[in-house]
Amino acid sequence: MSQVADVPTEQVGDSSYDGLRLRGVSKTYPNGFTAVDTLDLDVPRGSFIALLGPSGCGKTTTLRMVAGLETPTSGEIRLAGDDITYAKPYKRPVNTVFQNYALFPHLDIFENVAFGLKRRKVKDVEAQVREMLALVELDSQARKKPTQLSGGQQQRVALARALINRPEVLLLDEPLGALDLKLRRSMQIEIKRIQTEVGLTFVHVTHDQEEAMTMADTVAVMNAGVIEQLGAPEELYENPRSTFVANFLGQSNLIEGTVVSRGSDVTSVDMHGIGVSVPTGRTHTDGEKGWIGIRPEKVLIGEEGEALDAPGNTIPGGVVTDVSFNGVSTQYLVRMPWGQELAVFAQNTGRTRIFRRGDRVELSWRPEYAFLLDFSQDASAGAQKGD
Amino acid sequence: MLQGVGAVAFLGASAAALKLPFFGTDGFEQDPASCRATDLSASQMKLIVSNWPSYIDADEDPSTLSIFEERTGIAVDYSDDVNDNAEFYAKVRNQLGSCTSIDRDLVMLTDWMAARFISLGWTQPYDKANVPNLHANLIDPLRNRQWDPDLEFHAPWQTGLTGIAYNASKTGEVRSFEELLTRADLRGRVTLLSEMRDTMAFLLKITGANPDDFTDDQWGVAIERLREVVASGQIRAFTGNDYTQDLAAGNILACEAWSGDVIQLQADNPDIKFVVPEEGLSLWSDNMLIPNQATHQANAEKWIDYYYEPAVAAQLAAWVNYICPVKGAQEEMEKIDPDLASNPLIFPDDDMLANTFDFMPLDAKQSNEYEGDWANVTGG
Amino acid sequence: MAEMTRRRGRTGYLLLLPAFLTLLVFFVLPFYSLIATSLYDPSGSDVEGFEMTYHFSNYWDAISDYSGPLFRSLVYGGVATLLCLVLGYVLAYAMAFKAGRWKYLLLVLVIAPFFTSFLVRTLSWKLILADDGFVVNTLQFLQILGDDGRLLATPVAVIAGLVYNFLPFMILPLFASLDRIDPRLIEASSDLYAHPFVGFFKVTWPLSLPGVVSGTLLTFIPAVGDYINAQLLGSTGQRMIGSVIQSQFVEANNYPAAAALSTMLMIVILAMVLVYVRRAGTEELL
């Protein structure tokens, strides 16, 4: 299931690639647990990639193997052509922003940031540290100890401490996990700004899908030690290839359907007696049956018998079972004739009225928004409970 | 490890118990006549005894102790909590010095400490009529001590010799104290006893003084001699009775030793020999004292008189192996163990006893001064 | 409102009372009487009593008579503390970072010797270091020790005994402070180009300083005052100040000298501790 991003198949160990390349990397712990399973990944130089997945999916282990803090059981890791699979962590041009920052409590901010430069006996430490502190807007705090700073400031120190070394790859391990929501948003923008400014390769590990999509150029969704799907955030969101991705990134309605015919442009599917079509490029199964997927905000809702502004088929017989109005939009749950409840997000444009529980409605969607997934996959995989 | 701190705390507490402000302390002398408790012996068949470890046959069945209890109906509360004369003194000094009870009816202390207790007025006299066996049976060399010539306050429990022990498998015979201090082949493999009087008696003898009666100048000569010997590296350490281990292990070749220890060592290692030094024989005793405010004086006297019966004394001597201070015990011992009866370290003959000496009693000031000199020399 | 605060204030003092009384009874009074005793006229005795003459020269006499044992005690205590630190650090480090699930078992083993008597443990060293024993024979075979060389009754034996007896006092605080170090800090130093060796001196060591300071104090202070090791394992040339105080007090009954020596020992140690803590700069860390 692992994928290689927009790179034609190249042979393992090719040293001409100047980014970060993982080939067949596995990590099995002595207790038999396989955290990462034969993983392939290419991270082009200068890009910002997010490893996204639930806890235990292997994203942190992958990051630690790149940092050199764990040794792969098998496989190869190359950076700018050099094999670094077994290189000591202190010899890799890779730096990490740790979860909870791991700032040295006995050193002040200046010394924390200068730590890497001093170990490498770089000249002109003072000026570089000043410059870096200015970049993260902490110039005035240089002589404070980490515990005297707020969470957001500590976070920026951790970032500065890693960035100042101008690593080939900067690894960020859930860097914003300890911050409150508002601070997290502004830090997301800040980190993105800094990345653009310095032009380094960033690998960001997170379980927060919104954070991943906001910040990264490329998102790799990981599950059970493998990459489920890799691509640009919009692509992942609009055209998920597995039920896990469809559910983990945002929310999806997945409806059972039987493939009727496969044309060159569209696949025709019978959905509980209603014919629907899915573009070939969004059809991700060869089987007889499949899950027809549609994002709630792509579903249109209207009065029974009303002509909806959509070229697809109308699906009649829905009954509204739940309404939650939140200003910008309204979220409905609609019970369909086959018993399934579908989620619908309707913009409050004023063109249609807001329905109430018990109203009979018709649903519809544009065929180009639908996708078709492998029926053997669990329809609830990756769904975030309580989300 | 906390002894140092403990000593300091004890020192503090003891002084604090007396007078708080920056005043001095009174002397500790007491009058036994006014520090006498009412004797409860008639109503309480009880006796509290403090003795040195391994100094009674209590584990035997029957033991002299169990026979005493059976015969008299007195329940004896016996503990072996005397480990060191000076330490015991430090422990009870505040109570006895202020005429309060130490909750004991009988304690066993070595001659010099017994002398100090008696001179401080800390012990009760015996009723002569209650201890006829003591007066009849105490062996002659132990009579007429300067500090209690009429046996008013003390009765020897056991007696010992201070002499020389050596390991015959590792070195030749050591005949005199002089040899112990000078023989080159013993250099660094000799220990002396850390009890000042035991060792200094021999040093005084060697330097031509009489330990029973010497002057400050003679003391000065003797201590100077010891200082030279220590500086020469001849002496490995000054020890309590832990010299037995070193002798058995071969860490030392010869040492100043107590007779009873050596007899016990010989049982395991026949190569260990005890020698009466040419300089003479130092004879000492541990003595039974009734401290002030003891409440069972009559019971204590019964105990003393009981242990001066020759048969009882022989039974005890067969177990503890020290010199038996009781006349007639040798004959009784023939019945128990003829070998022991002829052992001169338990029943010394008259020739041996002819050449004994004692250490003269010191007043408090002399004692402090000499002990101070001694500590400085032995501590390097 | 004022009434309220006043009452609360009074409760606070009431709560302090037990601690205050304990301190008064177990520290202030003994210390006061120690100082008083140290100023008695040394010509007194238990028979005549001791007169308070503010005899400050007790101190000068003590210094001039016993500067040897005092200096020796500081040296032995210092060497033993240093050896304890080296041995203890290695052990505590292994326990904190490498022992995994054996960590607490090892901790129990470190404390285990305390279940037997201090005296017995020290005496058993006499067997280990005996002249005909395994250790001496091995050293003689290796030509490290001469044929008639020995360990017992030498400074080596005394210091070995001190190290052995006080090692747990070093290990426990070291372990406590090493165990508290977040292993991610060590990863971070490695990630920031520090060789493990450099990382140790730049991160682990400074973070363990509180443990180092309390461990060295807990070892040094009792080691300097100890006299059992010197008495059992040493010779006449190894006498330490604790044993001088003991013999002055118990044997010579020279209480003023013993008290003056005790007070002086306290002052010397206190001064050294203050300088040390200041130099180690631990106020900031604590």
Find how far residue A129's CA is from the centre of its chain: 32
Are A269 and A219 in a shared domain?
A: no
Instruction: Let me know: does A90 contact A165? Beta carbons within 8 Å.
Output: no
C81: helix, strand or coil:
helix
Per-residue model confidence (pLDDT) at position C280: 74
Q: What is the mean pLDDT of chain B?
A: 89
Instruction: Let me know: does A146 contact A180? Beta carbons within 8 Å.
Output: no
Q: Does C188 touch chain A (CB under 8 A)?
A: yes
Pick from B279, B277, B281: nearest CA to B174 = B277
Token pair of A199 as six digits: 């032009």
Residues forming beta bridges with residue A291, ordered by sequence position: A256, A373
Are A304 and A351 in a shared domain?
A: yes
Rounded to whole angstroms, how far apart are CA atoms C96 and C89?
10
Pairing label, strands A253-262, A329-335 = unpaired
Query: Which runs of consecutive H residues, i.e. helices, occur in chain C?
Result: 2-23, 29-38, 57-93, 103-111, 118-128, 134-141, 155-179, 183-191, 196-199, 205-207, 209-225, 228-233, 241-246, 255-280, 282-285
Q: How many CA atoms lie within 13 A of A3 on its CB side?
A: 16
- Subunit contact C192:A95, Cβ cutoff 8 A: yes
Per-residue model confidence (pLDDT) at position A385: 55
Dump pLDDT digits (tens) for B190-224.
999 988 999 999 999 999 999 989 999 999 999 99
Q: Does B278 touch chain C (CB under 8 A)?
A: no
Out of A238, A270, A298, a domain closes at A238
ipTM, two decimals, is: 0.81
A318: helix, strand or coil:
strand
Cis-peptide, bond into residue B338, ω within 30° of zero: no
pLDDT band at residue B166 under the 50/70/90 scheme: very high
Residue scoring higher pLDDT (B323 or C44):
B323
- Subunit contact C251:B7, Cβ cutoff 8 A: no
In a domain, A158, yes or no: no
Distances (CA, A) of B345 to A12, B56, B108, B324, B348: 95, 18, 21, 9, 6
Q: How many domains does chain A have?
A: 2
> What is the average pLDDT across B316-327?
91
Are A222 and A257 in a shared domain?
A: no
A158, closest residue in chain C (CA to CA):
C188
Pick from A70, A83, A102, A87: nearest CA to A173 = A102
Per-residue model confidence (pLDDT) at position B16: 46
Give C129 to chain B, closest Cα distance, Å.
Answer: 10
C-chain CB neighbours of A161 within 8 Å are 192
**Which subunits have 3 or more CB–CB pairs within 8 Å of chain A?**
C
Phi/psi-derived region of residue A323, left when phi > 0, alpha when psi is between -120 and 50, beta in every other case:
beta
Dump pLDDT digits (tens) for A181-202.
888 888 898 889 889 888 899 9
C near A: at least 3 beta-carbon pairs less than 8 Å apart: yes
Dump the DSSP string for B313-333: HHHHHHHH-SB--BTTHHHHH
pLDDT band at residue A309 under the 50/70/90 scheme: low
A-chain CB neighbours of C194 within 8 Å are 90, 115, 119
Are A277 and A355 in a shared domain?
A: yes
Q: Which of A157-166, A283-292, C12-21, C174-183 has the lowest mean pLDDT?
A: C12-21
Rounded to whole angstroms, how far apart are CA atoms A110 and A96?
18
B26, closest residue in chain C (CA to CA):
C49
- Subunit contact C187:A95, Cβ cutoff 8 A: no
Per-residue model confidence (pLDDT) at position A9: 45
- Subunit contact B375:C244, Cβ cutoff 8 A: yes
Rounded to whole angstroms, how far apart are CA atoms A133 and A202?
19
Q: What is the mean pLDDT of chain A?
A: 89
CATH number, residue A267: 2.40.50.140
Q: Does A94 touch chain C (CB under 8 A)?
A: yes
Per-residue model confidence (pLDDT) at position C278: 83
Q: Does C201 touch chain A (CB under 8 A)?
A: no
User: A305 is in which domain, residue-wise?
Assistant: 253-374
Are A271 and A232 in a shared domain?
A: no
Task: List CB contacts of B3: < 8 A, sequence separation 6 or more.
Answer: C227, C228, C242, C246
Sign of the CA dihedral with A235 first, then A236, A242, and A247 last: negative
B182, containing H or E segment: helix B177-182
Name the CA radius of gyration of chain C, rounded.
Answer: 24
Per-residue model confidence (pLDDT) at position C14: 86
- Subunit contact C203:A116, Cβ cutoff 8 A: no
Token pair of B295 as six digits: 């409440």
Q: Which of A21-35, B252-266, B302-316, C183-197 has the lowest mean pLDDT?
A: B252-266
Give C192 to chain B, closest Cα distance, Å.
Answer: 46
Topology alike, domains B34-153+285-345 and B160-280+361-378: yes
Pick from B331, B312, B363, B243: nearest CA to B56 = B312
Instruction: Answer whether residue A380 shows pLDDT above 60.
Output: yes
pLDDT band at residue B157 under the 50/70/90 scheme: very high
B-chain CB neighbours of C65 within 8 Å are 376
Domains and CATH numbers, chain C: 68-285 (1.10.3720.10)
> Which stretch, A109-123, B352-366, C234-248, has highest mean pLDDT?
A109-123
In a domain, A132, yes or no: no
Out of A212, A238, A264, a domain closes at A238
- Phi first, then psi, for residue A206 (nearest 5°) are -155, 160
Query: Which runs of consecutive H residues, i.e. helices, occur in A230-295?
Result: 233-238, 243-248
Out of A197, A213, A238, a domain closes at A238
> How many Cβ contacts (< 8 angstroms) between chains B and C?
184
Token pair of A120 as six digits: 């490498």
Partner residue opposite C33 with nearest CB, options B12, B230, B371? B12
In a domain, A286, yes or no: yes
Number of neighbours of residue A381 by Cβ within 10 angstroms: 18
Percent of chain B with pLDDT over 70: 93
C207, closest residue in chain A (CA to CA):
A106
> What is the average pLDDT across B323-337?
93
Q: Does B3 touch chain C (CB under 8 A)?
A: yes
Are A221 and A315 in a shared domain?
A: no
Residues forming beta bridges with residue B346, ordered by sequence position: none
CATH number, residue A229: 3.40.50.300
pLDDT band at residue A52 under the 50/70/90 scheme: very high
Dump pLDDT digits (tens) for B37-55.
999 999 999 999 999 988 9
Are A261 and A284 in a shared domain?
A: yes
C-chain CB neighbours of A102 within 8 Å are 182, 184-185, 187-188
Pick from B314, B321, B283, B298: nearest CA to B106 = B298
Q: Does C193 touch chain A (CB under 8 A)?
A: yes
Rounded to whole angstroms, how far apart are CA atoms A28 and A129?
39
Partner residue opposite C34 with nearest CB, options B11, B238, B368? B11
Per-residue model confidence (pLDDT) at position C119: 86
- Subunit contact B11:C37, Cβ cutoff 8 A: yes
The residue written with tokens 């020698």 in the block is: B275
C-chain CB neighbours of B242 within 8 Å are 123, 232
Spelled out in words, what is the top-level CATH class assigned to the domain B34-153+285-345?
A: alpha beta
Per-residue model confidence (pLDDT) at position A8: 43
Partner residue opposite B27 with nearest CB, options C48, C228, C243? C48
Query: Which runs of consecutive H residues, i.e. helices, occur in A72-124?
Result: 109-119
The residue written with tokens 């001196």 in the block is: C201
Instruction: Let me know: does C195 contact A90? Beta carbons within 8 Å.
Output: yes
Dump pLDDT digits (tens) for A3-34.
444 444 444 445 678 899 999 999 999 999 99
Instruction: Let me know: does B286 contact B369? Beta carbons within 8 Å.
Output: no
CATH number of B160-280+361-378: 3.40.190.10
Q: Does C283 touch chain A (CB under 8 A)?
A: no
A97, closest residue in chain C (CA to CA):
C188
Give the domain ranges of chain B: 34-153+285-345, 160-280+361-378
Are A279 and A171 in a shared domain?
A: no
C-chain CB neighbours of B374 within 8 Å are 251-252
Dump pLDDT digits (tens) for B106-119.
999 999 999 999 99
Per-residue model confidence (pLDDT) at position A23: 95
In a domain, A48, yes or no: yes
Are A87 and A31 in a shared domain?
A: yes
C-chain CB neighbours of B8 within 8 Å are 30, 34, 245, 262
Instruction: Answer whether residue B239 shows pLDDT above 60.
Output: yes
In a domain, A339, yes or no: yes
Give B336 to chain C, closest Cα distance, Å.
Answer: 36
B197, closest residue in chain C (CA to CA):
C251
Give C156 to chain B, closest Cα distance, Å.
Answer: 14
Instruction: Answer whether residue B363 shows pLDDT above 50.
Output: yes
Find how far residue B331's CA is from the centre of its chain: 25
Give B240 to chain C, closest Cα distance, Å.
Answer: 10
Rounded to whole angstroms, how far apart are CA atoms A115 and C189?
8
Task: List CB contacts of B17: < 8 A, sequence separation 6 or more.
Answer: B94
Dump pLDDT digits (tens) for B289-304.
999 999 999 999 999 9
C-chain CB neighbours of A65 within 8 Å are none
In a domain, A287, yes or no: yes
Per-residue model confidence (pLDDT) at position A43: 94
Dump the DSSP string for A289-311: EEEEEE-GGG-EEEETTPPPS-S
B-chain CB neighbours of C245 within 8 Å are 4, 7-8
Token pair of A242 as six digits: 């597995």
Instruction: Answer whether residue B3 shows pLDDT above 50.
Output: no
The residue written with tokens 């067997």 in the block is: C127
Token pair of A256 as six digits: 């059972």
In a domain, A258, yes or no: yes
C-chain CB neighbours of A129 within 8 Å are none
- Subunit contact A69:C192, Cβ cutoff 8 A: no
Per-residue model confidence (pLDDT) at position A198: 87
Dump pLDDT digits (tens) for A97-108.
998 899 999 999
**Which subunits have 3 or more CB–CB pairs within 8 Å of chain B?**
C
